[in-house]
Amino acid sequence: MEGGESKEPLELAGVTGGSPVRSVSFTLTRGTQGNDHILDLTRELQAGIQETGIRTGQAVAMVVGSTAALTATEFEPGLVEEDLAATLERIAPRDGRYLHEETWNDDNGHSHVRASLVGPSLALPVVEGRVPLGTWQQIVLMDFDTRPRTREIVVNVMGVG
Amino acid sequence: MEGGESKEPLELAGVTGGSPVRSVSFTLTRGTQGNDHILDLTRELQAGIQETGIRTGQAVAMVVGSTAALTATEFEPGLVEEDLAATLERIAPRDGRYLHEETWNDDNGHSHVRASLVGPSLALPVVEGRVPLGTWQQIVLMDFDTRPRTREIVVNVMGVG
Amino acid sequence: MEGGESKEPLELAGVTGGSPVRSVSFTLTRGTQGNDHILDLTRELQAGIQETGIRTGQAVAMVVGSTAALTATEFEPGLVEEDLAATLERIAPRDGRYLHEETWNDDNGHSHVRASLVGPSLALPVVEGRVPLGTWQQIVLMDFDTRPRTREIVVNVMGVG
C-alpha cells in the first residue's frame, strides 16, 4: 500500500541568518458573475508575492464572504465551466431544499453549503519567490452566490527576502 | 469567463522595519455533542489573536482528532442545524457501509470520511489585529463523531505587532 | 446548540523575546500508484519539522499537481483502502461524463474534480517541535490520477526555535 519513503536527507532551504522574517498583506479585488463562476487568481497572486520581495515562506489567501471559496485546479474550460460545477450540483443541488432559504427567504442555500465544503482559504508555500505550482495547477476563486459579486481576497505573505 | 483583474498597484501593508515577527500559540477547548454539532469559534479566535498583540500576519487553527473538521460558514440555524449536515448525509450517509466500521466494530466511518473531506485545519490572514471575515462569515468547528467529545483546537498566530 | 466556551484565560506559548522567527523549506518526494492511492506523510513531515529546529510556529504543505490532494485521516486500511475512495466515487464517479476528458481526450476528469474538493494544501500549527496531531490522526497524500506518479510535496516551516 505504501509508496517508498524518501531516502535522502532533506535539503533545507531558507535558513538564512541575516535577513529577518517579514510579514506583508495585500488585497486582490475581483468582479465575478456568481453562479459557480471560477476565476484564475494565479498571475495576480504570484505578482503580489514577487512584489513583497519575500523568497522563502508562506502565503495565505482568504476570500471574504461565506458563499465563495478558494481551491486549486487546472484552469481549462472543461473543468472550470462545467465539470466542477456539475459535481457540486450533485452534492448540493441548486433546487434542493435548504432551511437557510426558508428561514431567510433567500435562494443561496446551496451556495453556502458548497462554499463550506470547498473552504474559504488556502495556505501555500513560497519558494524562490513564488508558489511552486505545477504547470497545469492554478489557484482559483469559486463564486457560488446567485448573483454577480465583487470579491475581496485578503493575502498575507510571510518569510525571508 | 474571466472577471476583470485589479488594475491598481497593490497596497502592501505590514512592511514595518522596526518590529520583529513573533510566533504565539494557544489552545481553545470546547465541549461538543458530536453528531454534526457545529460550533462558532469566531469570538474566541479573534480574542486570542487580539491577546497576542499581532496586527499583520497569519493564524492557523487545527482540531486534534480525525472525526472533526474546521471550516467557515454563516452561523445561522438553517445552515448549521440542518443544511450542512443534510448535504454531508448525502455524501457519506451515517447508515452507509464502511469497512472502517466492520474492521474496528465501530459506528463512525461516516464521521471520518466527512472530516477528511472538510479538512482538519484553516489558515487565515490577520489584518489590523483580526481575521478580516465578512459580517455573515464565521469560523466553525464541525464534530462528526457519534458521541459528545471534548475538542482541542490548536492555534498559532505569527506576524508583526 | 452551542458548546460551552473556554472560561480560563488563554495560555500563550512562544512569546520568546530572544530567538528570531526563521523560515525553512524542504520537499518530500513520494512514488504513488495513482487511482486513489493514499499515503501516510506523518513520519516524514514530523521528522522534517524536527530537523528545522523550529519549536513554535506554522507548517504548510502543498502537493504539486492538480490531480492529488492533502488531508488528514486515521491511517487504517478500512478508511484508506476503501471508505474514502468509495465516497469520492459517489461524488465524482470515475466513469462519469467530464468535459475535461472530451476536450483533452483524457481519462482523469474525476481525478481533477476530487483533488479540487479535497484541496492541494494543509496549514498546520507547530507546537513543541511537532504538529500536535491526535494518536489516530495522520497527514495523508491522496493521488487521484489514473496512473502511477512521482509526487513532490513542498513544505515550509516558520517559527521560533
Is residue C18 less than 8 Å (CB to CB) from chain B?
no
% of chain B residues with pLDDT over 70: 91
Q: Which residue has the cell 463562476?
A: A37
Tell me what pLDDT residue A12 has: 77
Tell me what pLDDT residue C6 has: 55
Q: Is B160:B19 a contact under the CB 8 Å cutoff?
A: yes
Q: In this structure, is residue C30 part of a structural domain? A: yes
A47 interaction partners in chain B (CB closer than 8 Å): 10
Residue C17, pLDDT above cutoff 60: no
Sequential DSSP letters for A101-126? HHHHT-S-HHHHHHHHHH-SEEEEEE
Order of all β-strands in the sheet with C149-160: C22-32, C149-160, C56-63, C121-127
Q: In this structure, is residue A79 part of a structural domain? A: yes
**Closest partner CB to C12 (pick from B24, B30, B92):** B24
Q: Which of residues 76-95 of C touch B (CB under 8 A)?
A: 76-79, 81-84, 87, 90-91
Tell me what pLDDT residue B1 has: 42
User: ipTM of this model?
Assistant: 0.92
pLDDT digits (tens, 9 = 90+) for A91-100: 999 999 999 9
Q: In this structure, is residue A9 part of a structural domain? A: no
A80 interaction partners in chain C (CB closer than 8 Å): none
Taking the CB of residue A8, how many other CB atoms lie within 10 A of it?
6
CA distance B128 to B46: 11
Residue B116, pLDDT above cutoff 70: yes
Mutation target vs A (from C22, C116, C126; most A CBs, 10 A cutoff): C116
Strand partners, A138: A73
Tell me what pLDDT residue B121 has: 98
The whole-number average pLDDT for the span B113-128 is: 98
The whole-number average pLDDT for the span B95-102 is: 95
* Domain of C79, in residue numbers: 23-160
B60 interaction partners in chain A (CB closer than 8 Å): 123
- Residue type (1 letter), B1: M
Tell me what pLDDT residue A15 has: 54
Q: Sign (positive/negative) of CA torsion B87, B91, B96, B102?
A: negative
Phi, psi of B108 (to 5 degrees): -120, 35
% of chain B residues with pLDDT over 90: 85
Q: In this structure, is residue B114 part of a structural domain? A: yes
- Residue type (1 letter), C121: S
Sequential DSSP letters for C37-74? EEEE-HHHHHHHHHHHT--EEEEEEEESSSSEEEEEE-
Q: In this structure, is residue B93 part of a structural domain? A: yes
Q: In this structure, is residue B116 part of a structural domain? A: yes
Mutation target vs A (from C1, C19, C25; most A CBs, 10 A cutoff): C25
Q: In this structure, is residue C10 part of a structural domain? A: no
Residue C128, pLDDT above cutoff 50: yes
pLDDT digits (tens, 9 = 90+) for C25-39: 999 999 999 999 999
Task: List the CATH number of the domain containing A84.
Answer: 2.60.120.460
Nearest CA in chain B to C73: B66
**CA distance to partner chain A, nearest, from residue B42 (Å):** 14
Tell me what pLDDT residue C2 has: 46
Tell me what pLDDT residue B8 has: 60
Is residue B107 less than 8 Å (CB to CB) from chain C?
no
Q: Do A83 and C24 touch (CB under 8 A)?
A: no
Residue B104: enclosing H or E segment and its boundaries? helix B99-104
The total of structural domains in chain B comes to 1
pLDDT in tens, chain A (161 residues): 445 555 566 777 765 455 789 999 999 999 999 999 999 999 999 999 999 999 999 999 999 999 999 999 999 999 999 999 999 999 999 999 999 999 998 999 999 999 999 999 999 999 999 999 999 999 999 999 999 999 999 999 999 98
Residue B76, pLDDT above cutoff 60: yes
C43 interaction partners in chain A (CB closer than 8 Å): 5
Q: Is B22:C15 a contact under the CB 8 Å cutoff?
A: yes
CA distance B159 to B161: 7
pLDDT digits (tens, 9 = 90+) for A132-145: 999 999 999 999 99
Q: In this structure, is residue A67 part of a structural domain? A: yes
SS (H, E, C) C73-135: ECCCHHHHHHHHHHHHHHHCCCCCCCHHHHHHCCCCHHHHHHHHHHCCEEEEEEECCECCCCC
Residue C10, pLDDT above cutoff 90: no
